Structure 1
Amino acid sequence: MSLSMPPSVKPKVFGIGLSRTGTLSLTAALRTLGFDTAHYPADASTYATLLAGTARFGLLDRYDGITDITVVPYYQELDLLWPAAKFVLTVREEESWLRSCRRHWERPAGNKAALGEHYPDLQRFLRSAVYGARAFHRERFLRVARRHTAEVLRYFSGRDRDLLVLDVAGGQGYERLAPFLGLPVPDEPFPHHNDRSEQRR
C-alpha cells in the first residue's frame, strides 16, 4: 500500500548516499511512501544533464526524486533549485561498505547494453566524478566516503528538517524515514534489495 500526500505539498526527495549504502532499498521504501523516485537513471537526458553540470534533470518533471550517485555531485545545486526538497544521506559501517564496493566493482560487467545505450558512458562519468577512479581503490574510496559525509553534514548543519542520515544496513528504516517526510510509519518491513547476509559482512 502506498502512503502518499497531496501532490501540491509533496517535496522532491534526493538520496545522496554513495553506492552500496542502501540506495536501492531507499528507493523502494520511498515508492511505498508515495514518492516515485528514479534510481540511477541512465537515459539520454540524464547523461546530457550530467555532462552540462546544471543539475536540471528533466526527469524531475515526472519523478518525485532521484537516488544514488547520479545526484551526489549535485546535491547543493538541487537544494537551490528545489528549496523545499528533502535529502536522505544513506551511510554504512566502513569495513562492510568497502567489502561490498570491492565485490561490486570486481564482478563481471554483464549485459550493460540492457540498461540503455548511455549507461556505460554514464557509469564511467559518475565513477570518475564521485570516486576519482573507475576501479576500486580502498584508500581512495574510504577518503571519499568520509569527505562526502562530512561535507553533507556541514552543508546541512542546523537544517534537520531537510536532511536525514539513514543507516539502512544497520537496521534503520521507516521509523526514521516516514516521520522525516511527514508520513505515518507503514505496517510492513523496510525493503532490503541486497541480501541481508551481504550487508552484515
Structure 2
Amino acid sequence: MSESSTPPVPSGRGCGLPYPPKVFGVGLTRTGTRSLTAALGVLGFDVVHYPVDRATYRTLLAGSARFPLLESHDGITDITVVPYYQDLDLAWPGSKFVLTVREEEGWLRSCRAHWERPLPEEAVRSEVHLELQRFLRSAVYGCHAFHAERFRGVHRRHVAGVTGYFAGREDDLLVLDVVGGEGYERLAPFLGVPVPEGPFPHVN
C-alpha cells in the first residue's frame, strides 16, 4: 500500500473481507516481541518484527499507519506500530492485536541491559537503522537513552491505553505474558487456528 493510497474499507471479519486479517504485536521493547513473531510464523502468519527499511521510515516520518510492507505481509510487531495501534485498527478492520506484557521490574532490568548493549555491526553500518531507532525510541519513550522512571511511566500508560482502547473487544485484543509462560494455548485460539505441537519459541 503506498502512502498516498486509501486503505481498503472492508465490511468486517468473515463478511467479504478483501484481505486476510492483519496481526499486530503492540507490546513494548523486551516484552517477548521476537518470540511472538516466531510463534506467529509457526501459526502461519507472515509478520515482520521491527522493520528497518527506508519505506517504513518514510511512513513513520509522515505520521501514517499505511505501511507499504502490509501489502505483502500479515502484520508487524514491536515498537514500530506501538504509536499507531488506533490508526491500524481503523485502517485494517477485523485485525488482531497482541499486547505482550511482563513483570515491570524484570522488564526494566531487561531494557537497561538492552539499551547498554552495543549495537550489532550491521546496524551501525545501516544509516536507516540508526535513524529509525532514534525516531522510534524518542516517539515511544520520550528519550533516546535508558531512563528507568520514564520507562516505568511509559510502560504503565501504554498498557492502560491499549487495554482501555480495546475494552469490551476481547475478540480483537489479547494480552499475553510470554516471559511469564503464556503461549500457544492462548495465542492460537485467539487467532482461530489450532494449537500446534511443540514448545512456544523463546527468542533473544
Distance in 2 of aligned mates of 1:134 and 1:192: 27
2:46 is equivalent to residue 40 of structure 1: no
1:51 and 2:51 equivalent? no
- Between the aligned partners of 2:33 and 2:174, the Cα distance in structure 1 is 13
Partner of 2:185: 175
- The two structures have a TM-score, normalised by structure 2, of 0.89
1:150 matched to 2:155? The reply is no
Tell me how far apart the structure 2 counterparts of residues 44 and 108 of structure 1 sit (CA, whole Å). 22
Aligned to 2:79: 69
Q: 1:9 to 1:113 in 2, by over 3 A?
A: closer
Structure 1 residues 88 and 123, CA, compared in 2 at 3 Å: closer, same or farther? same
Superposition CA RMSD, Å: 1.4
Return closer, same or farther for 1:115/1:94 CA change in 2, 3 Å cut-off: farther
Q: In 2, are the aligned partners of 1:42 and 1:115 still within 8 Å (CA)?
A: no
- Displacement of 1:71 in angstroms is 0.1
Offset from partner CA, 1:11-49 (integer Å, 9 cap, x none): 100000000000000000000000000000000100000
| 1:197 aligned residue | none
Residue in structure 1 matched with residue 41 of structure 2 by the alignment = 31
- Quote the Cα distance in structure 2 between the aligned partners of 1:35 and 1:117: 29
1:138 corresponds to: 148
* Paired position in structure 2 for 1:189: 199
- Tell me the residue number matched to 1:83: 93
In 2, Cα distance between equivalents of 1:156 and 1:112: 38
In the TM superposition, structure 1's runs of 4+ consecutive aligned residues that sit over 6 Å from their partners are: none
Q: 1:168 to 1:13 in 2, by over 3 A?
A: same
What is the percentage of aligned positions where both structures have the same residue? 70
Could you state the TM-score of these two structures normalised by the residue count of structure 1? Answer: 0.90
Structure 2 residue identity aligned to 1:134: H
**1:90 aligned partner, one-letter code:** T
State whether residues 124 and 130 of structure 2, in contact with CA within 8 Å, keep that contact through their aligned partners in structure 1: no
